[in-house]
Chains A and B, each alone.
Chain A
Amino acid sequence: MTTILTVPPSLDDGSFETLLQAVAAVPDDARVMLDARHTRWSSPYGLINLLTLAQARGDRPQFIPPEDSDTVSYWARAGFFRHAETLMEFTRPVPTKAKTGDSNFFLEITPIAQTEDVQHVVAHIQDRSKAIMETLGFPARGSVGFSVVLSESCQNIIEHAGGPGWVAVQTYNWQKRLGRRVVVIAVSDSGVGFKTSLGQTYSRGATDRWDDAAALEAAVLRATSRFRDPGRGQGLAGIRKYMGKWEAKLTVRSGTARIAIVPAWDDDKALVEQLAPFAGAQYQIIIPQAVQS
């Protein structure tokens, strides 16, 4: 029996949770069909997490592509169908071989499985990172920082996930929400997640709780690493430093919890628990255009 799961018309980190709630109600061995017929828009977070969802299910879920031709074209240029082809069964033909590249995508959907992938991503984005920073109204010298944040985000997949992941970088106009342009970095994997990764070595008292939220707090707020070396765990701490500098928002979701470094322009909760379970870890970094004084 196949369970049909409706992909929201507008797919972002918030509406993706609705999809995950529906997924959570489906037994692991049941076949699922992701119905994206009425989906008109997706953030990079939404797109790469559809891939992660398919990876996590592991049973090649069926996928009904969007009906809107512009949406199909855009997803093709983002590289979505090219990668989804290996993970899902399409119910109708889609342009899987379409040329990728769109001015809004600074980095199309890119798989991350090994160190070389991170080096390629950084080399690829380096030429564009000055344009990214200029788009946001930051000095071009900040472009190196952007590459560092991207590198460290991707490395978390290799260091902690125990499996392959995805990254995408996109810019769009957040006119309604913020009245400014934003650049979004989305990173996701279907690996073991922070609770398992840190739980292997993280020492805690007998009365301390150890769940997804505690693991996220340890990794994101206290720069705890599964390695004892004091030099480890600094990637996320470093990312946080840049979040403050750019007034950017960082969210990290793992298991059933999500932690956020919330800038002044947003009113999101710093910690959300009891979410629908999801494999691995998902990062989203939203860097808004600088406010010119």
Chain B
Amino acid sequence: MLTPMPLDLRMALARTECDLYSNLVTRATGRAVRRQLESMLREMQGHRLAVLDFTHVGVLDFSCADEIVAQLLLRFGAGLPAHAPAPSSPSYFMFRGLAEAHLEALEPVLEGHGLALVAEAEDGSMTLVGTVDADERAAWQLVLASGGGDVAAIASFSVEARLDLHARLEALARRRLVIQTSAGFHPLRHH
């Protein structure tokens, strides 16, 4: 299992000399914050599970949602097509503290890029946000319910036979919505 690395958005904001603002607004601010986050990520070795906590973010506008969240996901491989080679040290992202107002900005941005992300609620429950079809969602929920493992173990949690589960799990891993290791597929869980 990966050790999660919290990426402090406030610290990233402070490093961009925007520490007066707890609001993530304007494309320039988003770009500066994302570059700080990328720099923090580069300090992490191997497979990386980064937790971005929005709890203290007031306003998130569409431009910042695009520059920080969508561009971060894209740059770390979440939007790669099926035939593209995976990055040697993939990064995974989990998003915490997303309020309804944040989601109003995030959802259209994610949909614009065909992206999705894993959001963790205060009670620890996880949901998918963004562009996800019903089959992907069902496969992701199986990984969550099973706690992860090889395809057979995950499939045993399904009431119906899913011949293409492996392909779906690989697609979820490619989208950075589950973690793929030599032992199988795992949820982006941090405890």
**Which residues of A are interface residues toward B (Cβ below 8 A)?**
115, 118-119, 122-123, 126, 141, 144-145, 147-148, 151-152, 155, 158-159, 230-232, 234-235, 237-238, 241
Contact = CB atoms under 8 A, between A and B. Distances in A.
A189 B18 CA distance: 25
Given A126-B58, A141-B100, A141-B101, A155 B23 contact: no
30 contacts: A115-B28, A118-B26, A119-B20, A119-B21, A119-B23, A126-B23, A126-B59, A141-B100, A144-B58, A144-B101, A147-B23, A148-B104, A151-B61, A151-B63, A155-B26, A155-B61, A230-B113, A231-B66, A231-B67, A231-B70, A231-B71, A231-B109, A231-B113, A234-B62, A234-B63, A234-B109, A235-B63, A237-B108, A238-B108, A241-B104
Contacts of B109: 231, 234
Contact of A122 (B25, B67, B100, B113): B25
A122 B61 CA distance: 10
**Could you say which of A159, A230, A231, A232 has the most chain B C-beta atoms within 10 Å of its C-beta?**
A231
Given A119-B29, A230-B112, A148 B62 contact: yes
Contacts, number: 87
Interface of B is mostly: helix
B59 A147 contact: yes
Interface residues of B, number: 28
Nearest to B102: A144
A230 B27 CA distance: 14
Interface of B: 18, 20-21, 23, 25-29, 58-63, 66-67, 70-71, 99-101, 104-105, 108-109, 112-113
Given A126-B59, A148-B59, A148-B62, A234 B112 contact: yes
A235 B62 contact: yes
B43 to A, nearest CB: 26
B62 A123 contact: no
A46 B160 CA distance: 65
A147 B26 CA distance: 12
A69 B109 CA distance: 49
A118 to B, nearest CB: 5
A31 to B, nearest CB: 38
Contacts of B18: 119
B23 to A, nearest CB: 5
B67 to A, nearest CB: 8
B66 A144 contact: no
A238 B112 CA distance: 12
Contacts of A122: 21, 23, 25, 59
A25 B13 CA distance: 50
Nearest to B115: A231
B159 to A, nearest CB: 38
B59 A159 contact: no
A123 B20 contact: yes
Contacts of B29: 115, 119
**Could you say which of B20, B29, B59, B101 has the most chain A C-beta atoms within 10 Å of its C-beta?**
B59
A118 B18 CA distance: 12
Given A141-B101, A231-B66, A148 B21 contact: no
